[in-house]
A and B are shown apart, each in its own frame.
Chain A
C-alpha cells in the first residue's frame, strides 16, 4: 500500500462512496472521452497515489484493446436474400409500415414453416460453380451495393415457392402409438428459411407417407439404394449395446406429397436423386416382394443360442448374429401404412462405432463396424449380404472401423501404435492399449467384402476416409488418434480433416498429394467425432461435427469444394454453417437434410431440408416433434 493511501482517511474499498469507486468510474469515463478537466485532475492525483486503482484503470484499457482484437464475424452470404424475402412478405402482408406488431418474424420464432416465397437469390447463387457470372450483380457476401439496383427485384414480384428437382426425404419419428415410424415425403418446392406463415407452403410432413414402423428405438437408419429394405441400428448405451436389424420396405409408390404448389416455373429436369430415400426406381415394381431380399426365419429367436460369425476364429466372446423371429405382420403391398415389419436381426449385443453403417452402391452388402458390448475387445468391420441370416466379421484385430464404400470394396481404418520402438506397427487393440499410453496413428485399407481380404494400397496416415462418388477426392482425418477408454475405440487427437486426391491406381505406398484443410478444430476445443458425406456431384460436402460436451449433438455445415484442386471454395462456402443438428444427415443432388436437436428454442426435433436448384435455394421442414425424442434422418 502506498504512503498516500495510508494517509487517506477515506480509503475503504468496500465503501461505495469511496474515492476508489469514484476513481474507477472516472477511469471508465476517461476511456470514453467524457471526463471533465476537473475530474481528470482528480483522477490523475488519485491514480498517482493508489496502486490498485492504477492497475484497475490499466486493466480497463487493456481489456478494451483485447475486445477490439477479437475477430470480426462476417455475416452469412445469404443474409440479404433472407432479409429481402422477408421484406417482400412484409410488404405483401399489408402489415408493412403501418404495422407495429411486437413479434419478430424470424423463422426460428415460427412454430412451423408455412410460407411461400421464392428465394431467387443468394443461397442458391452461392452454390453455383465458381465462375458462374452473377447476372444480377447482387453481391453474395455484402449488402446490396449502391449500384446494384433494387435487390428486391431479384426475388421477383409476387414471391413464389422455389421449384426444385423432385426428390424424397425420409425420416423416423416416435409415433403417437409408441412405435417408431419411417416417413417419406417428396420435396418438389421449398420455402425461404425466413418465411412467414402463409397458407400455401405446407410443412414437409403434411404430405408424408408412413412406410413402416418398428418398436426398437433407432440410433440410425440406412436405406439400401433400391429402397427395398432399411438397416436399423438400435440406439444403445455404452453398457447395454443393441442390435442391427433389417426391415423390408413396402414397395407401393408413395404418392408425391402435396407440397406447396409452385407458381414458379416447374422443374424442367426432374432429378431422380433423393437425399437418402427411396429412389423412383423403387416405385417401379410394386409387385416385387420385399421378402425376396430379407429372409427372416422362424428357426431362431432372440433366446436361441448365438451363432458366431462364420469367419471369425476368435475365441473371445463376439457379438452374436442371430435371426430373430419376425413379429406377426404382413408387409403391405399397395398401402404403405405403418406396420410391424418383419425384422431380421443380423447382429446383436454390439455398439456400432466408426463410420455409419452403409449399403454398397449395388445394394447387395451392408457394412459397418462394431464392438461387442461385453468384454474388452475393440471394433471390427462386419458385412452382411442381402439374403444372409447374419452379418459376418471381416477383420480380426479388434482395432478396425468401417469408413465408406469405394465401388464394391470396403474402405476401413485401423489405429496403429506409434511407439517409437515398434519395428513394424501392429494394430493397436484397445484391450492391449492403456489409457494415457502413447498415441496412435491411423492407416486405412480396402477390403473385398466377399473374401474379407485386404486389397489395394494401404493408406498410411489416413483415418476414416470418405471418397467422393466420382472417385477423385477423399476426405479424411490426418493426425494422431487417442484411445477412448470408455468407448474402447479411437478418437481424433491432434490433426485436421483434409481433402486429398484418392489414389487412382494401386501403388506400393500412399503419398498424400497436398491435402487441403477442410476443417481445423480449435486448439482448445476437443474434436470428438464427425460425419462427412459427399453429394453425388462431388462438389459439396456435408460436415457434421459432434459437440465437445455432448457427442449426441452437433453442428452441420455444407462446404463447397473446388473439384479442380480440392480446395474449400472460400468464396462460396459454407453455404450452411454450424446448423444445430443431431448425428446423421443425408445429402443428395441439390439438397441436404438434417434433424434439429430437441430443445432448441424450446421445440421438439424437426427434419429440415435445404434444397437448391441452379442459383436458387430454400428450405422446408417438418413440424416439431411433440416429444423430446430425436428425429432420425434416414440415409
Chain B
C-alpha cells in the first residue's frame, strides 16, 4: 500500500488537483501541513537560530519528499519525519564551521511583554536554555523529542535512529544531564545574585549600620 493512502487527509484534493500533481506531491503537501510546525520547533530548539531552523525544516521536507518510498508504515510517518529532521540537525552540527558564534538574543518585536512575562521568562527560560545548551546534542535531542514533542517508545527510538533500549538509556542520561546542568545554572545564578546584593548594600568601613 502506498504510504499516501493514510497520510493524505485530503484525498479529494489529490484527485481533483492539477494533472501533473503526483501522489508524492500530495503526500509531502499534507505531511508539511500536519507537521511543519513541530518539526520547525524541534529544529529551532536544537539550533536556536530561526533562520537556520527554517532552512533545516525545508531540507527535512525535501528529504522526506525524495525518500517517501522508504516509509513503509504510514502510521509511523511522524516518527519517520522526526528521524529525518534529527539527521538534518546532526548533519548541521557536523557541518558547522562557525568562526564567529552569534548567540541568540531573543528580542521581541511589537507589543512589549508584560513585566510578569519578562520576569517569568528571565527566571525560567534563561537557566533552562543555558542548561540545555550544555548537554550533549544527542541527549538534548532525546529530551526535546520525549518531553516536548511527546515521542515515546518506538517513536522515540525510530526518530533517534537507535534501538528502543538505547533510546531509553539515552533519555535517562539526558534527564540526569539536564538536572545537573540546571542545578549548576541555578547555583551560579544564586551566587551572582548574592554577590549583587552584597555589592548593593556594601558601605565603606565605619559607616555601616544605622549611622547613629
Interface residues of A (CB under 8 A from B): 24-25, 28-29, 31-34, 56, 59-60, 63-64, 66-76, 79-80, 82-83, 86-87, 90-91, 95-97, 99-101, 104-109, 142-147, 149-153, 157, 194, 496, 516-525, 527, 543, 545, 547-550, 553, 555, 557, 559, 567-568, 570, 573-574, 577-580, 597-602, 628
Is the beta-carbon distance between B66 and A90 smaller than 8 angstroms? yes
B134 on interface, CB distance cutoff 8 Å: no
Is the beta-carbon distance between A520 and B102 smaller than 8 angstroms? no
Given A56-B179, A108-B52, A146-B9, CB of A64 within 8 Å of CB of B147: yes
For chain B, the bracket of interface size reads 35 or more
Question: What residues of chain A lie closer than 8 Å to B121, measured between beta carbons?
Answer: 522-523
B178 on interface, CB distance cutoff 8 Å: yes
Is the beta-carbon distance between A66 and B128 smaller than 8 angstroms? yes
| Given A29-B168, A104-B91, A520-B108, 19 additional A-B pairs, CB 8 A | A59-B179, A63-B147, A68-B147, A72-B41, A73-B50, A73-B53, A96-B66, A104-B63, A106-B56, A107-B55, A109-B59, A144-B29, A149-B13, A150-B21, A150-B25, A519-B109, A545-B105, A550-B100, A599-B98
Is the beta-carbon distance between A574 and B109 smaller than 8 angstroms? yes
**19 pairs across A/B with beta carbons < 8 Å?**
A29-B172, A66-B128, A68-B147, A72-B37, A73-B45, A82-B55, A87-B61, A97-B69, A105-B59, A143-B36, A146-B33, A519-B109, A522-B122, A523-B119, A548-B105, A573-B109, A598-B99, A599-B100, A600-B99
Please pick, from A142, A157, A557, the residue contacting B109 in the complex, using a CB distance under 8 A. Answer: A557
Within 8 A of A (CB), among B1-39: 9-10, 13, 17-18, 20-21, 24-25, 28-30, 32-34, 36-37
Question: What residues of chain A lie closer than 8 Å to B176, measured between beta carbons?
Answer: 24, 28, 56
* A599–B107 alpha-carbon span in the complex (Å): 23
Question: What residues of chain A lie closer than 8 Å to B65, measured between beta carbons?
Answer: 87, 90, 96-97
Is the beta-carbon distance between B100 and A600 smaller than 8 angstroms? yes
* A471–B179 alpha-carbon span in the complex (Å): 54
Question: What residues of chain B lie closer than 8 Å to A144, measured between beta carbons?
Answer: 29, 32-33
B202 on interface, CB distance cutoff 8 Å: no
Given A194-B55, A527-B107, A602-B97, CB of A28 within 8 Å of CB of B172: yes
* A120–B61 alpha-carbon span in the complex (Å): 20
Is the beta-carbon distance between B118 and A523 smaller than 8 angstroms? yes
* A567–B109 alpha-carbon span in the complex (Å): 10
B 105-127 binary contact with A (CB < 8 Å = 1; else 0): 11111111100001101101110
Interface residues of B (CB under 8 A from A): 9-10, 13, 17-18, 20-21, 24-25, 28-30, 32-34, 36-37, 40-41, 44-45, 49-59, 61-63, 65-69, 88, 91, 95-100, 102-103, 105-113, 118-119, 121-122, 124-126, 128, 143-144, 146-148, 152-153, 168-169, 171-172, 175-176, 178-179, 182
Question: What residues of chain A lie closer than 8 Å to B152, measured between beta carbons?
Answer: 32-34
Question: What residues of chain A lie closer than 8 Å to B28, measured between beta carbons?
Answer: 87
Is the beta-carbon distance between A87 and B62 smaller than 8 angstroms? yes
Is the beta-carbon distance between A600 and B148 smaller than 8 angstroms? no
CB distance from B186 to the nearest CB of A (A): 11
Given A97-B69, A143-B32, A146-B33, CB of A597 within 8 Å of CB of B54: no
CB distance from B71 to the nearest CB of A (A): 12
CB distance from A518 to the nearest CB of B (A): 7
Q: Which residue of B lies closest to A153 (CB)?
A: B18
* A194–B62 alpha-carbon span in the complex (Å): 11
8 closest cross-chain pairs (CB), A and B: A599-B99, A602-B97, A75-B40, A143-B33, A568-B110, A106-B55, A599-B100, A28-B172
